[in-house]
Amino acid sequence: MKKYSQIIIAIIVLVGACYFLPETDRNILAGQTRPGSGRVEKAIFAGGCFWCVESDFEKHRGVVSVISGYAGGVGKNPTYATYAQDGYFEAVEITFDPSVTSYQELLDYFWRHIDPTDAGGQFVDRGSAYRTAIVYFDHRQKDLAEQSKMAMGKSGYFVKPLVTEIVPFSTFYPAEEYHQDYAAKHPLKYRYYRFRSGRDQFLSRIWRKHSESIAPGEPFRNTKPLNKNDVKRRLTPLQYRVTQKNATEPPFDNLYWNNTRAGIYVDIVSGEPLFSSLDKYKSGTGWPSFTRPLVSANIVEKKERTFWSVRTEVQSKQAGSHLGHVFSDGPAPTGLRYCVNSAALRFIAGADLQKAGYSEFTSLFNH
């Protein structure tokens, strides 16, 4: 009996210790890692009512958590009653897994869920507390945000100039608990508010003619794949066999297996950006190998079953080109090896990105 009592006491102590740990430490015990561990990153966006922005980003693949809060003001511990008068604006803090999604993809997603031309608020919510902003944590995020804003301004989607601010991180305070996950806690109230706000009506009007750009995570590149006849005419026989017939080129005898130049790799058919030299490594296989995609939304993975094995095929999303396969024997930080045929790729050097129409990636190679 004494032995069982000791076991029960030990369990109570362990549970109690976990309960009194700070929330971040409890998250670590639950399998989440502390920001900065190399497995998660943070981003802050302001797009008007944080109920809506939080709900939108929670649907994005690779997002670990979204916290509604107040950013950019002065003074400590703002509340819903005081944040506006202290210069704060509603924002969300996003924790995301960079091996699943990228900061660039989050930027693309952000633009298509706000009105970046409205300096006086967002939709039914008026005032500077509802202004749009991108809050950056470092120079890399700043560069990507500025490039993304410039590209969106030139895209033709909006007639008016973009007024979304790009500002350095200063402060962020989580909002009150009743604001967190508001859409999930109060679905009827949230849907009524969102419909009456005019947000969805505006977004539908802007993106109706560009429905291919609405899908979460896709970049704003509207290249149109060639028809089958054009594909066969423009590609070399090897490129055609690889991309259209799932063939495999010979190892150590292909264009990019030992390419060490800085730049990006795009789909040979559609021009979709797929991989970066920053993620390329020497795998010893004789084919170009990468630890992650440059734009993960441009990659489609499909199970490939044979009598003796199951592999994961990798295709480009827009063109449907066969690229190669992904394996789980790669190095850190992802542990993945994207083994890709050179014949499915076109390399664009970092110095040529602007000229080739890929200006949003130039900042990756400017340092």
Q: Which of 93-102, 118-127, 344-353 has the highest mean pLDDT?
A: 118-127
Ranked by mean pLDDT, the top range of 17-21, 163-167, 332-336 is 163-167
Question: Does the pTM exceed 0.85?
Answer: no
- C-alpha separations of 44 from 146, 180, 237, 279 in Å: 15, 15, 47, 25
Averaged over 16-41, what is the pLDDT?
Answer: 41
The angle, 0 to 180 degrees and rounded to 10, between the axes of the packed helices 139-154 and 103-111 is 40
What is the predicted pLDDT for the residue at 41? Answer: 94
Does residue 118 contact residue 159 with C-beta atoms inside 8 Å? no
pLDDT digits (tens, 9 = 90+) for 258-313: 999 999 999 998 888 999 999 999 999 999 999 999 988 889 999 988 777 889 99
| Res 52 pLDDT > 50 | yes
Q: Which of 49, 129, 295, 299 is catalytic?
A: 49
CATH of domain 33-213: 3.30.1060.10
d(C-alpha 286, C-alpha 85), whole Å: 61
pLDDT mean over 178-205: 89
Ranges of each domain in the chain: 1-31, 33-213, 228-365
Q: Is 339 a catalytic residue?
A: yes
Q: What is the pLDDT at residue 85?
A: 93
pLDDT the model gives residue 352:
86
Sheet holding 165-168, edge to edge: 165-168, 132-136, 41-47, 89-96, 63-71, 172-174
Residue carrying the six token digits 């003619």: 209
Of 249 and 235, the structure prediction assigns the larger pLDDT to 249
Q: Where is pLDDT greater, at 223 or 122?
A: 122
Residue of higher predicted confidence among 310 and 217: 310
* pLDDT at 226 (0 to 100): 61
Instruction: State the residue for tokens 């920001």.
Output: 35
Task: Work out the mean pLDDT of the chain and round it to a whole number.
Answer: 83
Q: Which range among 35-49, 142-156, 227-241, 347-361 has the greatest average pLDDT?
A: 142-156
pLDDT band at 61 (very low <50, low <70, confident <90, very high): confident
- Three-state DSSP state, 290: strand
Say yes or no to pLDDT of 237 above 90: no
The class (CATH top level) of 228-365 is mainly beta
Of the candidate ranges 73-77, 89-93, 358-362, the one whose mean pLDDT is the lowest = 358-362
Beta bridge partners of 301: 314
Q: pLDDT at position 361, please?
A: 85
Evaluate whether 26 touches 18 at the Cβ level (below 8 Å).
yes
Tell me which of 91 and 154 has the higher pLDDT. Answer: 91
Return the pLDDT at 18.
37
3-state secondary structure of 267: strand
Q: In this predicted model, what pLDDT tens digit does every residue of 139-182 receive, in sequence order? A: 999 999 999 999 888 888 888 999 999 999 999 999 999 999 99
Q: Output the furthest CA–CA distance in the chain (Å, rounded).
A: 83
**pLDDT on residue 211:** 34
More confident residue, 223 or 241: 241
| Selected catalytic residue, list 107, 152, 323, 339 | 339
350 by DSSP, 3-state: which?
Answer: helix
Please classify residue 85 by burial: count the beta carbons closer than 10 Å to its beta carbon, then call 0-12 exposed, 13-18 middle and 19+ buried. Answer: exposed
3-state helix, strand, coil in the chain (%, to 5): 35, 20, 40
Q: Where are the alpha helices (DSSP H) in 118-185?
A: 139-154, 182-185
Q: Is residue 222 very low, low, confident or very high in pLDDT (cuts 50, 70, 90)?
A: very low
- Please tell me the predicted confidence (pLDDT) of residue 214: 33
Q: What is the pLDDT of residue 31?
A: 30
Give the mean pLDDT of 124-138: 97
Stated as kind and residue range, the H or E segment containing 193 is helix 187-197
Known active-site residue 18: no
**C-beta pairs of 294-297 under 8 Å, 24+ apart in sequence:** 294/102, 294/264, 294/265, 294/361, 295/102, 295/104, 295/105, 295/217, 295/219, 296/61, 296/62, 296/100, 296/101, 296/102, 296/105, 296/217, 297/101, 297/105, 297/215, 297/216, 297/217, 297/218, 297/219
| Phi, psi of 365, deg, nearest 5 | -120, 20
The pLDDT of residue 291: 94
Q: How confident is the model at residue 90 (pLDDT cuts 50, 70, 90)?
A: very high
Q: How far is CA 160 from the centre of its chain?
A: 26
pLDDT at 6: 52
State the pairing for strand pair 132-136/322-327: unpaired
Strand residues in the chain grouped as ranges (E): 41-47, 63-71, 89-96, 121-122, 125-126, 132-136, 165-168, 172-174, 263-267, 273-276, 280-281, 289-290, 299-305, 310-316, 322-327, 337-340, 345-349
Tokens of 363: 């900042």
